[in-house]
Structure 1
């Protein structure tokens, strides 16, 4: 038994064994990187979905690092009036997307098979701009932009609002056709 173990380990002994071990590890690293590589970049004219997502051809894109109010979400202005902050975020995103083709660098996909990406139009980072204008909160990126929007009381920061995640949790989407019919009052 001892003799067999020493034969197995003999492959990796000496200078040639060290090189072989490095080569084996390099091959494993290359295979792992290829299996875990991000999706390729995508670009083109986009169609808005809401304040942090859109379609680029048949691909659905969700911007990374921010969370915009949901389309049906309302916020409270400084004077106490409610305003449709979700629609305002969507409309502003539509304006950015109308300015030219979107250039997106996907990093991953989510559970809904959307590409999770950082995107720009005309060299302007869409996520940074939405957060800087107070139409989205930072969610892992864009902390500086959020702090500036808060300090200047821009957009949602001018009054009161529920964080988009909290709003989604409190307003679950209807499931199935009967859920949608009941949501429509039918």
Structure 2
């Protein structure tokens, strides 16, 4: 009987927490409605593999981190190649299709909209970049399926996974150290 009561208490607690989380989401969306951005190909400018300008607003794709534009990677033989430029080109191909839409619930410290973007075909740009091997998933911010897409690309040795690379956050940190020390 005690086991049944304990199970009931655990389930009731979980239901309460789920209810509170749902209520918080409703309040957040009511007080801070999502920013919706949409643009045609002429109104989209790709900055790098995870940032773009949509109708004049700078957007950072949520849940992923791509190599910086100036970042190089090493292939299986150790030769450097411009992975940052290739990541940018991959995002440009995805974002240039008509009917791009982005939904943002927050801004980052650089005042960019952090958003989930889809093209007219319904393709989630971040998920596609991860699946093609042009980015790493940011587990804390990733949507369902993002980490699996990264794992698939890693296993198939696509994009940045075909050799060695510095994680974009590590590369950025090293560049900041180099500038300060120079």
Q: TM-score, normalised by structure 1?
A: 0.73
Of residues 78-87 and 162-171 in structure 1, the stretch that sits farther from structure 2 once superposed is: 78-87
The answer (yes or no) to whether the contact 1:61–1:114 under 8 Å persists in 2 is yes
Distance in 2, matches of 1:31 and 1:156, equals: 38
Is the aligned partner of 1:137 residue 2:122? Answer: no
Residue 144 of structure 1 aligns to a residue whose secondary structure is helix
Per-residue deviation, 1:40: 2.4
Per-residue deviation, 1:115: 0.4
The structure number with the bigger radius of gyration is 1
Please name the residue that 1:92 is paired with.
90
| Aligned with residue 166 of structure 1, among 170, 174, 178 | 170
Distance in 2, matches of 1:30 and 1:134, equals: 32
Residue 79 of structure 1 aligns to a residue whose secondary structure is coil
Residue pairs, 1:9-88, within 5 angstroms: 33=28, 36-45=31-40, 46-88=44-86
Aligned residues: 149
Where structure 2 has 5 or more consecutive residues not aligned to the other structure, the ranges are 1-23
Per-residue deviation, 1:39: 3.1
The ranges of structure 1 where at least 4 consecutive aligned residues each deviate by more than 3 angstroms after the TM superposition are 29-36
| 1:122-141 per-position Cα deviation (integer Å, ceiling 9, x unaligned) | 21010000010110000122
Aligned CA RMSD, in angstroms, stands at: 2.4
The answer (yes or no) to whether the contact 1:38–1:108 under 8 Å persists in 2 is no
Per-residue deviation, 1:30: 11
Instruction: From the superposition, tell whether residues 170 and 36 of structure 1 become closer, same or farther in structure 2 (CA, over 3 Å).
Output: farther
Q: TM-score, normalised by structure 2?
A: 0.75
Instruction: From the superposition, tell whether residues 174 and 97 of structure 1 become closer, same or farther in structure 2 (CA, over 3 Å).
Output: farther
Instruction: From the superposition, tell whether residues 134 and 35 of structure 1 become closer, same or farther in structure 2 (CA, over 3 Å).
Output: same
